[in-house]
Amino acid sequence: MSPTAPRVVIPSPDTGRYFLSNNILPIKSIVNYIDPIFFFIYHRVAMLKKVLKKYLDSLVSQGRHSRKTIEAYRRDLEPWVDWLQEQYTVLPGNAPNDPLYLRIYLRSRSETGVSNRSLSRFLSALNGFQKYIGLRPDMKKYIFKLPKMKFSTRMPNFITQNESEYLFDDKTTEIATKGYLYMRDFMMVALLYATGLRREELSGIKLGDLDSKKGMVAVTGKGNKTRVVPVGKNTLIDLDRYLAIRETFTANKQSSSDSLFLNRLGKPLSVRSIDRRVKRFGQTKGLDFTPHALRHSFATHLLENGADLMLIKEILGHASLSTTQKYTHVTAETMKKAYRRAHPRSGAKE
């Protein structure tokens, strides 16, 4: 092979050897054919990708994060590492953790319409990854100083207490005359509003998680944490009615699934289907809500009726009380509106 016609060199980070065309040769045999800058860039990015994979695998083995959370970390971090690969090529002389890289990345993401809330989530994922690589002395040069993102804490829509009374009125639901699919959708709405569960938690409920005698249901929330949530008497009555209809449905479908909610084939209902069916059920009643809106309605109505904030925190499965405290803003605003409407000294009529 003539030195005047070098062939493509592809380094292999797994073996420590380098491929020259179809032959595997030690590095000393091909040193004259390697572009030093290309090798440096490739090695830098290949190592980052390898460490990222190890980090995500470690999260799986630890069992402290749900599959969905780890997948979200992967979706946030893989594009970042891929983007760094391009930037290391364009600016090979810069330090690996040059602040310019992160500023450009955040700005480019923002210009494509990515919200500050999503960028904040990315920074949170990157922070966890950087803590992991910080344990390795040779990787500390890849640690960036992370900024804090500001974003609005806009509350989602929620139904009023009057709307909830209308929603669960026997005259408007007519559940006694409906089949399994209608009863299933009604029961999902009723359980979401009565317990404040997340849609993923609702999807994961098994028949064995229900304790009708104690009026409780066990659910697995974020971080694979299990908690027990109370279920009201009226909802338990509806639940018993649903389980009877479900038993007939599974017998006809020859389904042995122990998931509480099933699709028309007798298989577990997906999270996406729960989203769609709950929203459609609300629309048939002239209301517009999602599973998340029902969760917020649950917390807001408890607070409006004098429930303790710490109790609401435990039922919702919040890790921090500050997350629950956002509902106080809603009820405070409700009280101010009521005051302005009703009190003669509010100044509203002047």
Residue 295 annotated in active site:
yes
Residue 198 annotated in active site:
yes
Given a contact cutoff of 8 angstroms between Cβ atoms, the answer to whether 129 and 123 are in contact is no
* Sole residue written with tokens 């971080």: 223
Q: Which of 65, 184, 198, 313 is catalytic?
A: 198
Residue 33 annotated in active site:
no
Q: Count Cβ atoms within 10 A of the Cβ of residue 306 and give its class: 0-12 exposed, 13-18 middle, 19 or more buried.
A: exposed
Residue 292 annotated in active site:
yes
Q: Which of 73, 142, 242, 327 is catalytic?
A: 327
Residue 101 annotated in active site:
no
Q: Which of 44, 74, 121, 318 is catalytic?
A: 318
DSSP, res 284: H
Cα separations in angstroms, 191 against 14, 204, 244, 317: 51, 13, 16, 16
Q: Which of 184, 199, 295, 296 is catalytic?
A: 295
Residue 343 annotated in active site:
no
Per-residue exposure over 47-79, b if at least 16 CB sit within 10 Å of its own CB, e if not: ebeebbeebbeebeeeeebbeeebeebbebbee
Q: Which of 109, 121, 178, 222 is catalytic?
A: 222
The end-to-end CA distance of the chain, in Å, is 95
Single out the residue of 252, 256, 213, 250 nearest to residue 231, CA to CA: 213
What residues act catalytically?
A: 198, 222, 292, 295, 318, 327
